[in-house]
Amino acid sequence: MTQPLFDLAGARVFVAGDRGMVGSAIVRRLASEKCRILTAERDLVDLRRQAAVDDWFSKNDPDVLVIAAAKVGGIHANNTMPIEFLYDNLMIEANLIHAAAAAGVRKLLFLGSSCIYPREAPQPMREDALLTGPLEPTNEWYAVAKIAGIKLVEAYRRQNGADFVSVMPTNLFGPRDNYHSKHSHVPAALIRRFHEAMAARAPHVVVWGSGAPRREFLYVDDLADACIFVLKNYSGDGFLNIGTGTDVTIAEFARLVATATGFKGEIVFDTSRPDGAPRKLLDVSKLHALGWRHKTELHEALALTYRDFLAGGGRNQAE
Ligand code: GFB
């Protein structure tokens, strides 16, 4: 095996956001590395406060920082909580990146999102499509915050020569997803809705929007694996997309969820709900060229996630 660019062995790795779906997947994946995993108790360290973050860094002295902490949510949450999506995310990322630089962190990985790209970006979306056109309005607050995070990482690289990198994951789902009835993303929303329809023997399930938008979905454990791969093997100036390179329509996705949950009734589309971006497919050729590919196909990932849901592994399953 070739030597990685960055050796995680013996490193003190701070995973910010370890209680979320992404952060917990990264912690699971790091368990097979010979590193020490550090986390910050959510109730004790408010990542929106620079002083609290600085204090945590001075006490814990991490070598590596993975920024998986963020205010996240689906299309409805994004559309209705612009303050949290902009303010919380700006503060969390700025405080963490700034503290990491001041504390001499040797490697930093910042996680963005595919919604940073212009609404009408050519598909599949290459990394160089950033800032080439207007954003999708339903999530521009989140996108602006994430773009600021990417730029701050770039700024520390350029001005200080820091080994800080960013990745842009596509739409994610998996264990510990948020099943909140209003705030969830489409995978968790539909898993819960189809499951409840089965339990109630309902004749149909309502899916938001027209069913026509196309989305690319990645299993969160594959995302975590990609993040560790990037930490160890990438130190370039540009950020990297992380996805599968294939997408489905929301109608097709709903049918896959119906299959995973065993629902055999009708699927009805509520076109009074927003569709959001017409398509969000990432160009993953840079990551493929480096040697990483996803392992879990969509139907398999849905079956695994549904199993986690049935076992009560999801967050806010009753809210
Ligand atoms: O997952 P989602 O909320 O996020 O919605 P986005 C994806 C698509 O699924 C949209 C449709 O076309 C929705 O209209 N959809 C159908 C549903 N039924 C449902 C449902 O019950 N709940 C939800 N939530 N959607 C988000 C951004 O955009 O993507 C975030 O708002 C983030 O900022 C995330 O970037 C990855 O893909 O539209």
pLDDT value for 1: 54
User: Ligand 1: which atom is nearest the Cα of residue 85?
Assistant: 33
| Across 13-31, average pLDDT | 98
Q: CB of 176 closer than 6 A to ligand 1?
A: no
Q: What is the pLDDT of residue 289?
A: 98
What gap in Å lies between CA 141 and CA 203, rounded to an integer?
37
For a pLDDT cut of 90, what percent of the chain falls above it? Answer: 96
Confirm or reject: Cβ of 89 under 6 Å from ligand 1.
no
DSSP 125-152: BPGGGTTSSPPPGGGHHHHHHHHHHHHH
Ligand 1 pocket residue status of 189, Cβ below 6 Å? yes
Mean predicted lDDT score pLDDT of the chain = 97
Decide if pLDDT at 284 tops 80.
yes
Ligand 1 centroid from CA 35, angstroms? 35
Q: Find the farthest-apart pair of alpha carbons in the chain and give their distance in angstroms, rounded.
A: 60
Residue 142 annotated among the catalytic residues of the structure: yes
CA distances from 131 to 98, 116, 117, 188 (A): 23, 8, 7, 30
Q: Mind listing the pLDDT tens digit for each residue in 113-165?
A: 999 999 999 999 999 999 999 999 999 999 999 999 999 999 999 999 999 99
* Residue to substitute in 78, 139, 185 for testing ligand 1 pocket (most ligand atoms within 8 angstroms of CB): 185
> Phi/psi class of residue 291: alpha, beta or left (left: φ > 0; alpha: ψ in -120 to 50)?
left
User: 3-state DSSP call for residue 137?
Assistant: helix
Is 161 exposed, middle or buried, given 0-12, 13-18 or 19+ CB atoms closer than 10 A?
A: exposed
- Predicted local confidence at residue 2, as pLDDT: 72
Q: Whose CA is nearest to atom 13 of ligand 1?
A: 275
CA 270 to centroid of ligand 1, rounded, Å: 14
C-alpha 194/C-alpha 259 separation (Å) is 10
Please write the tens of the pLDDT for every residue from 224-278. 999 999 999 999 999 999 999 999 999 999 999 999 999 999 999 999 999 999 9
The CB of 243 under 6 Å from ligand 1? The reply is no
Confidence of residue 318 (pLDDT cuts 50, 70, 90): confident
Contact 20 CB / ligand 1 (< 6 Å): no
pTM listed for this prediction: 0.97
For residue 193, the ligand 1 atom closest to its alpha carbon is 21
Q: What is the CA radius of gyration of the chain?
A: 19
Tokens of 261: 């949950």
For residues 52 and 42, give the distance between their C-alpha atoms in angstroms, rounded to a whole number: 11
Output the pLDDT for position 152: 98
Contact of 189 with 74, CB cutoff 8 Å:
yes
CA 186 to ligand 1 centroid distance, Å? 5
pLDDT tens-digit map of 161-198: 999 999 999 999 999 999 999 999 999 999 999 999 99
Distance CA(46)–CA(25), nearest Å, equals 21
Q: Is 178 close to ligand 1, i.e. is its CB under 6 Å away?
A: no
Which one is catalytic: 87, 117, 142, 234? 142
For residue 43, the model assigns a pLDDT of 84
**Model pLDDT, residue 42:** 85
Those residues whose C-beta lies under 8 Å from the C-beta of residue 249, and which sit 6 or more positions away, are 211, 212, 213, 214
